[in-house]
Structure 1
Amino acid sequence: MGENETLSWTKQCSLKWSDFKAEHNPASYEDSHSVIKYGFTWTVDSEKMGSDILFLIKNIQISVEFCPLLSSVRPSEISDQLLKYEQGRFDLAELVKRENLSSLQMKFEGKKFPTRGKNEEQRKQLAKEDSGKMIAQEIEHLQNLLEEKLREYDEITDYGNNLEKVTEFNLKFEQLKS
């Protein structure tokens, strides 16, 4: 696994303790720590309108990524229950993505944005850069929403110790995989 490699959420992807590759900080109050973030790809197209070139953002795809090299577990606390809790955090990120994807896409789909630059080639290059920044800003909002939802999940499930609440969440997460 390369330095920048992540595990992308799929219906078939289940976390394993071997995916937690960071050394656990013995001073940490957490028995496990997972880093989950959103990645994205998109297509940018340009259109000439008179002397102006406008760009359009299409095909925004968002992926949920687990970062093994930043995720850790206290070796003495490895258990199926704790792993199920961490899987729930990963699944929650997918759920948040799905709940917000269409509104994020609607902010860009079918809209035309002005370009900057001195010539056509520069405008196309800057359109790619500007569109990336625009989407990254929306992804940052989504990441902040995820952090809020993860805090709620941690509290409601008592960090995976409340099996009844973990089971309730897992029933929701099962729908993602069907």
Structure 2
Amino acid sequence: MSENNTLSWSKNYSLKWSDFKAEHNPATFEDSHSVIKYGFTWIVDSEKLGSEVLFFIKNIDLSVEFCPLLSSVRISEANDRLLKHEQGHFDLAELVRRENISALQMKFEGKKFQTRGKNEEQRKQFAKEDSGKLIAQEVEKIQKILDERIKKYDKVTDFGNNLEIQSEYNLKFEPLRL
């Protein structure tokens, strides 16, 4: 687990119940709860154009992060079928990441943005801050896509209880591991 207490999606790692570290709320309907978010890294660079300094964004990378400290399971219901369903949430997030990473990168590719600030040091700092905000807005849209897809996944699989539909999803996720 990394310093910021998340697990990054990897084709070589599958969730274990020991990854679900939050105390489960006995009043909730669901037997398990996974918190999955997108993280991102990028490089911001700048160039001087006359008296203006413009920044541009490159090398955006998006990662899928499982949050153990926010994820929980009702111990009495912890079984392989349910764990496979929870892994499906993680895999679905990776699938959505792959479907959207190119569009995210192309949104900023070749574009230059004005900076603010009174001196070069301020402009560099604002370029970093502003570029992060621009990317975060786009990542939030991808997170919403994921949230909708997870709702649908939970509904059609009946939280993993519909074994036929769950098996179809499991097959859909298999290529992610190749």
Q: TM-score, normalised by structure 1?
A: 0.98
Question: Which residue pairs with 1:152 in the alignment?
Answer: 152
State the alpha-carbon separation in 2 of the partners of residues 149 and 138 from structure 1: 17
**Runs of 5+ in structure 1 lacking a partner?**
none
2:176 matched to 1:170? Answer: no
Question: Which residue pairs with 1:34 in the alignment?
Answer: 34
Runs of 4+ aligned structure 1 residues displaced above 2 Å come to 1-4
State the alpha-carbon separation in 1 of the partners of residues 27 and 121 from structure 2: 53
**Structure 1 vs Structure 2 CA RMSD:** 1.1
State the alpha-carbon separation in 1 of the partners of residues 48 and 171 from structure 2: 50
State the alpha-carbon separation in 1 of the partners of residues 38 and 62 from structure 2: 7
Question: Which residue pairs with 1:80 in the alignment?
Answer: 80
2:111 matched to 1:114? Answer: no
Distance apart, 1:4 and its partner CA: 3.1
Question: Which residue pairs with 1:90 in the alignment?
Answer: 90
Identical aligned residues as a percent: 74
State the alpha-carbon separation in 2 of the partners of residues 96 and 114 from structure 1: 31
State the secondary structure of the residue aligned to 1:107: helix
State the secondary structure of the residue aligned to 1:43: strand
CA displacement 1:127-151 (0-9 Å, x = unmatched) = 0000000001111111111100000
Question: Which residue pairs with 2:5 in the alignment?
Answer: 5
Distance apart, 1:121 and its partner CA: 1.2
1:3–1:69 Cα contact (<8 Å) kept: no
Aligned length: 178
State the secondary structure of the residue aligned to 2:15: coil
2:102 matched to 1:102? Answer: yes
Distance apart, 1:3 and its partner CA: 7.6
Question: Which residue pairs with 2:123 in the alignment?
Answer: 123
**Runs of 5+ in structure 2 lacking a partner?**
none
